[in-house]
Amino acid sequence: MTADVRTEDGCRLWADQAGAGAPLVLCHGGPGIWDYLGPVARLLDGHARVIRWDQRGCGRSQRRGPYSVGRFVADLDAVREHLAGPRTAVLGHSWGAHLALR
């Protein structure tokens, strides 16, 4: 199911969720690359409710700054709050791992 997430500064972020179970947010690499983790999400379909998203300025999300580490972390938190709830696992690749750790 595709959803738009609005951040507190009004930026529109594209997100998608599928599967059932505990929520898991996937963070793609980049910055500047869009979500490419669909195949990973399909592997986890029966084990978790997987949430994928395009980071600010990437893919299907709105292209607008500011572009800072703090802003990207706040965007990840907006996705988590809107779609996953207070307790979720976060998994990232490359730049997305950096965001997930923060």
pLDDT digits (tens, 9 = 90+) for 36-89: 999 999 999 899 999 999 999 999 999 999 999 999 999 999 999 999 998 999
Residue 99 near residue 27, CB atoms below 8 Å: yes
User: pTM for this one?
Assistant: 0.94
- CATH code for the domain of 25: 3.40.50.1820
User: What per-residue confidence (pLDDT) applies to 32?
Assistant: 87
Containing domain of residue 6, as a range? 2-101
The count of domains in the chain is 1
Token pair, residue 84, equals 């996953």
